[in-house]
Amino acid sequence: MANTFKTYPSGYVFRNPNKMMLTADIYGNRFHADQTLYEYLIEFLLIFVSGDDDSSNPKSKLAFHNPEAKGNLYYTVEPRMGLRRFIFFDRNKKTESIEIDRRAYDELIKELKKRIDGDEEEKTKVIEALQDLLHGYAVVLKKRAWCAQAMLPLCPELVFCEAMPKSKTRVTLNWEKLYHDGDEKKIDSEFDFDKRNFLARGGELYYLHILQGLKGQDKKREKLEYLLKEQLVDQGKKISLVSGFIQNTWDEYMEYDEPLTKRMPISCIPEGAYVDIAGDAVDELISFMSCKMHPVQKIELLAKGIMLQVMRMLSVASTNYLNEQRDFWIIDMNGDLEAVVKKSAVNHFVIVRDSFTTAIGKSIGGTAGGEKLKKISKARKDSYDIFKSKGKELQCIVPTAGPNERFSLSEDCIRFLVLALVRPGEKMTLDMFLAKLYEKYRIIIGPTEYRRIENRGNVMLANSFQKNLDSFQDFLKATGFLRELSDATSIVENPYDEVGGEA
C-alpha cells in the first residue's frame, strides 16, 4: 500500500508498511479507536510546543513545521517525569506503585520542601495545595498508570507525551545501586514514550491537516502561531511557573545536564484526503482562537471543536476516496417532535455510514470471505466507530444508545461553530450563517438548505424544517448568539472581543 497513494508531506517514506493502518490510503496512518477526545488536542499541541533539530525540516518550539516540508517529519518531546509524579503518583492505587517511583516521589517532595519557606506543617500545606491545584486540571485518568494520565493543556509544561512503565525493568531498579553505577537517569528513562497506546497519531493527522492548510499562507501561519502561544504561554503563565518550578527542582536534584528527551516521528496523510477542507479548518481555528475568553473554558471548547473538525475530516475522506460529493449532515433539533425531520435525518445518517463502509471495502479489496470481513471490521473500528462514538460524546450524534441514529447539535458544538465561523465582534444574518454551516460542514437545519439537496415543493416538509429552524433559533438565542432585529431578520453575532496584538 505504501506506494499506491501520494502523501502529505510529499516524499514520505513508510518505515514499516506491514504495520500500517488498513485504510491508510483513505484516512492516513492512523486514527485509533482508543484515543480519547482530549488526546486529539493534546497530541496536536504536543507537536506544536515541541522543537526538533532536523537539518532538512527544522522545527522551533511553539511553532509549526514548514508547510512546504518534504519527507519524514519529527518532533522532540520532554517527558517531564518529575512533574508527572508530583501530580499523579500519590493519588494512584498504592498496589500499582513501584518502589523506585515511590522513592523518587519522596525525594522530590523532600527537595521541594527545602525550597519553600515556613515550618514543616506550612510546607506540607503548600505542597498539597499545589497538588490539588494541578490535579484539578486532570482530564484523562480512567484506570491508567500514573505516568499515562493526562492534563488539560493549559501551558507547554502540561502538554505531556505518552509514557508507559517498563514494569519488569522498573521493579528491579534500586535507588542506591543506580547512583553507585552512574545510571540514575534510568529512574526517568525506563519508560516507553513511543508505543502509541493513547497518543495514537489521531492528533498527528489533525496537525498535518492544519499544516497542509497553511501551505502558501505565511500570514495565517504567523497568526495561528501567535494565537496558540498567547493561549499557552501568556494565559498559562501562572500555571507554567508552578509546573516549571516543580520540574526544574527535580532536574536540579537529579543533576541532569539537560532535560530528558525523546525524538518522535510524524506520520502522513493522503495528499488529497482533506485538502479541500484544510483551508476551512485553518480559518475556523484562527477565528476561534482569536476570541478573548477564560483560558480554561477556551481550551475545553477547543478540544470539542477539534473533534468536530476531525469528524468532518473522516467523513470527507470517505467520499473523496469514492470520488463522490460530500455527505450531508441533516440536523434534528426537535427529537421526536418532528417525525418528518427525524426520519430524513435518520436516512441521511445511514448514507454517511454507508460511505465509510463502501470506502473501506474498496480500500481493502480482495474477494469476499472471513479474512476480508475481519479486516473491514478492524478498519471500521478505527474510522466509522471513532466518528460515531466521538459524535455521541459531543452530543452531535443522538441517541447515545439505541436505533434511529442521527445528527443533532449540543450547546458546545453550536458555541464552537459560531465562534469558528463568525469572527470576534462581527455578525451576520441567520440566513448567511446557515449558508456557512452548509458550505463548511454540509450541515442542513432549515428549509432553504434542505431544498438544495431535495428539490421538492412538499408543504409538510417545508413546515417541518421551518419548525426545526425555529428550535435552532431558540437555542442560539438561549446561548446569547442571536439577536432578532425584526420578525424577518435575525442576526448571529460573536460577542467576544478579539485577542489583541499583532502576529
Tell me, yes or no, whether 237 lies in a domain.
no
Tell me, yes or no, whether 4 lies in a domain.
no
Residue 171: predicted pLDDT: 94
List, in sequence order, every residue forming a beta bridge with 8; answer none if it has no partner.
269
Residue 502: predicted pLDDT: 47
Residue 459: predicted pLDDT: 60
Residue 503: predicted pLDDT: 41
Structural domain total, the chain: 2
Single-letter amino acid, residue 57 = N
Separation of alpha carbons 31 and 10, rounded Å: 20
Work out the number of other CB atoms within 10 angstroms of the CB of residue 67.
20
Indicate the pLDDT class of residue 360, thresholds 50, 70 and 90. very high
Indicate the pLDDT class of residue 371, thresholds 50, 70 and 90. confident
Tell me, yes or no, whether 235 lies in a domain.
no
Domain endpoint, select from 192, 227, 256: 192
Average pLDDT, stretch 462-470? 88
Tell me, yes or no, whether 280 lies in a domain.
no
- Give the residue numbers spanning the domain of 119: 81-192
Indicate the pLDDT class of residue 27, thresholds 50, 70 and 90. very high
Average pLDDT, stretch 162-172? 94
Indicate the pLDDT class of residue 2, thresholds 50, 70 and 90. very low
Tell me, yes or no, whether 52 lies in a domain.
no
The string of DSSP codes covering 189-254 is HSEES---SSS-SHHHHHHHHHHHHTTT-HHHHHHHHHHHHIIIIITTHHHHHHHHHHHHHHHHHH
Average pLDDT, stretch 140-160? 93
| Percentage of the chain modeled with pLDDT above 90 | 83
Domain endpoint, select from 158, 192, 226: 192
List, in sequence order, every residue forming a beta bridge with 151; answer none if it has no partner.
138
pLDDT, tens digit, for every residue of 52-90? Answer: 999 999 999 999 999 999 999 999 999 999 999 999 999
Separation of alpha carbons 432 and 427, rounded Å: 10
Tell me, yes or no, whether 29 lies in a domain.
no
Question: What are the CA-CA distances from residue 470 to residues 319, 333, 475, 503 (Å)?
Answer: 31, 9, 9, 40
Residue 334: predicted pLDDT: 83
Minimum mean pLDDT range among 15-19, 97-101, 293-297, 330-334: 15-19
Tell me, yes or no, whether 18 lies in a domain.
no
* Secondary structure E strands in 34-105: 74-77
Max mean pLDDT range (323-337, 349-363, 449-463): 349-363
CB-based contact 206:40 (threshold 8 Å): yes
pLDDT, tens digit, for every residue of 190-207? Answer: 999 999 989 999 999 999
Residues 340 and 485 in one domain: yes
Indicate the pLDDT class of residue 347, thresholds 50, 70 and 90. very high
pLDDT for residue 369 is more than 90: no
Indicate the pLDDT class of residue 453, thresholds 50, 70 and 90. confident
Residues 188 and 331 in one domain: no
Nearest to 465 by CA among 446, 443, 444, 438: 446
The string of DSSP codes covering 401-439 is SSS--EE---HHHHHHHHHHHS-TT-EEEHHHHHHHHHH
pLDDT for residue 259 is more than 60: yes
**What is the overall mean pLDDT for the chain?**
93
pLDDT for residue 132 is more than 50: yes
Residue 365: predicted pLDDT: 85
Residue 337: predicted pLDDT: 55
Residue 192: predicted pLDDT: 96
Tell me, yes or no, whether 28 lies in a domain.
no
How is the chain split among helix, strand and coil, in percent rounded to 5? 55, 10, 35
pLDDT, tens digit, for every residue of 381-404? Answer: 999 999 999 999 999 999 999 999
Domain endpoint, select from 192, 208, 238: 192
DSSP 8-state assignment for residue 330? E
Residues 185 and 332 in one domain: no
Minimum mean pLDDT range among 210-214, 283-287, 459-463: 459-463
Exposed, middle or buried, 160 (CB in 10 Å: 0-12/13-18/19+)?
buried
Nearest to 340 by CA among 406, 421, 244: 406
362, three cell numbers: 474498496
Average pLDDT, stretch 411-415? 97
Backbone angles phi, psi at 265, to 5 degrees: -85, 145
Work out the number of other CB atoms within 10 angstroms of the CB of residue 57.
17
